[in-house]
């Protein structure tokens, strides 16, 4: 009986088979990989270097605020203690920033979701013109709105109340750039969701409102969370509107209070305390992004058919 020769490849391990299947990689391939890695490393260093310098400056001694060392020696928490001194009133400023940012984000989502859904589903004339006007409103420089809004909010006109040093004076103008972003992003997102999902829900007994709330809105969670994060970050970092309309010491936001820090003598610049306050104001944004990151990714991977 004749024996059939077993191919040599049949005796190879999976690792050896993988090595055989790999294409030949010459020097140009490795140079490309190294150049890509070096480029990405440079971009990361360029983006993180200012934040790193802010952190190490915050942990220096107050007398070493202008030091050029790349590591605080010795490390100290005196700058963080100085941030919350009574003369800075920074804790109150953080509370004001939270109130303005959260309220503006919630109002932006409420009105933006309704407007975006209507623009995505309803058919009417000049829909494109309406969308163009909405996105065009966000292109005006914010500083051009300060003078007319200041006259309006200070009670210059008898038919409008005095809103200076009140939360709504910062919330209402912030909606002017939050709402166009929300409507534009969510309109495109709602258009991607098939209308058959709502029709199937209504066949099963849902009203149009229930179909939107139970079917469409959960599927639009990625766009909603992304818009909420962008709006919150923009309002939290806003400076000009808060500086103009919230002038009282108890109504200043964190960004305005940080810019007006003074040292123990009243006129010297406390570099260490300013850097420590910058670290403190950045922490809520980092927590927000890290907290919603998984929800955004999970929403992006869950399609309407699933």
Q: Is the pLDDT of residue 1 over 50?
A: no
Q: What percent of the chain has pLDDT over 70?
A: 84
pTM: 0.79
Look at residue 303 in the predicted model and tell me its pLDDT.
44
Does residue 24 or residue 33 have the better pLDDT? 33
Contact (Cβ atoms closer than 8 angstroms) between residue 168 and residue 99 = no
Q: pLDDT digit string (tens) for 200-210?
A: 888 888 888 88
Q: pLDDT digit string (tens) for 224-263?
A: 888 888 889 889 999 988 998 998 888 999 999 888 887 6
Q: What is the mean pLDDT of residues 140-164?
A: 81
Q: Is the pLDDT of residue 137 over 80?
A: no
Residue 14 banded pLDDT, cuts 50, 70, 90: low
Look at residue 12 in the predicted model and tell me its pLDDT.
58
φ and ψ at residue 148, rounded to 5 degrees: -65, -40
134: left (phi over 0), alpha (psi -120 to 50) or beta: alpha
Does residue 140 or residue 238 have the better pLDDT? 238
Rounded Cα–Cα distance for residues 232 and 230 (Å): 6
DSSP one-letter code for 305? -
CATH topology of domain 89-260: MetI-like fold (1.10.3720)
Helices of type H across 4-162: 14-21, 27-58, 78-83, 90-121, 127-137, 146-153
Residue ranges, CATH 1.10.3720.10, the chain = 89-260
Residue 23 banded pLDDT, cuts 50, 70, 90: low
Look at residue 85 in the predicted model and tell me its pLDDT.
80
Q: pLDDT digit string (tens) for 297-306?
A: 654 554 444 4
CA 106 to chain centre: 14
């Amino acid at each position: 009986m004749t024996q059939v020769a077993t191919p040599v490849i049949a005796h190879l391990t999976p690792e050896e088979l993988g090595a055989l299947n790999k294409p030949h990689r010459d020097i140009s391939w490795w140079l490309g990989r190294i150049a890509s890695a070096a480029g990405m490393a440079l971009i990361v260093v360029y983006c993180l270097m200012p934040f790193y310098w802010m952190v190490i400056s915050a942990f220096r001694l107050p007398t070493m605020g202008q030091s050029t060392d790349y590591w605080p020696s010795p490390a100290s928490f005196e700058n963080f203690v100085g941030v919350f001194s009574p003369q800075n009133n920074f804790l109150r400023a953080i509370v004001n920033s939270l109130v303005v940012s959260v309220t503006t984000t919630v109002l932006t989502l409420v009105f933006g979701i309704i407007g975006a859904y209507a623009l995505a589903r309803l058919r009417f004339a000049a829909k494109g013109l309406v969308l163009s006007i909405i996105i065009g409103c966000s292109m005006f420089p914010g500083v051009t709105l300060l003078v007319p809004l200041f006259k309006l909010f200070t009670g210059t006109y008898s038919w409008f109340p005095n809103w200076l040093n009140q939360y709504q004076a910062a919330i209402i103008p912030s909606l002017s750039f939050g709402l166009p972003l929300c409507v534009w992003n969510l309109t495109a997102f709602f258009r991607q969701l098939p209308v058959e999902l709502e029709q199937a829900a209504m066949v099963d007994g849902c009203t149009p409102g229930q179909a939107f709330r139970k079917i469409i809105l959960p599927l639009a969670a990625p766009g909603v969370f992304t818009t909420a994060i962008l709006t919150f970050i923009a309002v939290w970092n806003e400076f000009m509107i808060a500086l103009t309309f919230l002038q009282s010491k108890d109504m200043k936001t964190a960004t305005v209070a940080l810019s007006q820090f003074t040292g123990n003598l009243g006129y010297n610049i406390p570099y260490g305390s300013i850097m420590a306050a910058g670290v403190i104001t950045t922490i809520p944004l980092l927590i927000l992004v890290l907290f919603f990151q998984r929800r955004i990714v999970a929403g992006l991977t869950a399609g309407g058919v699933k």
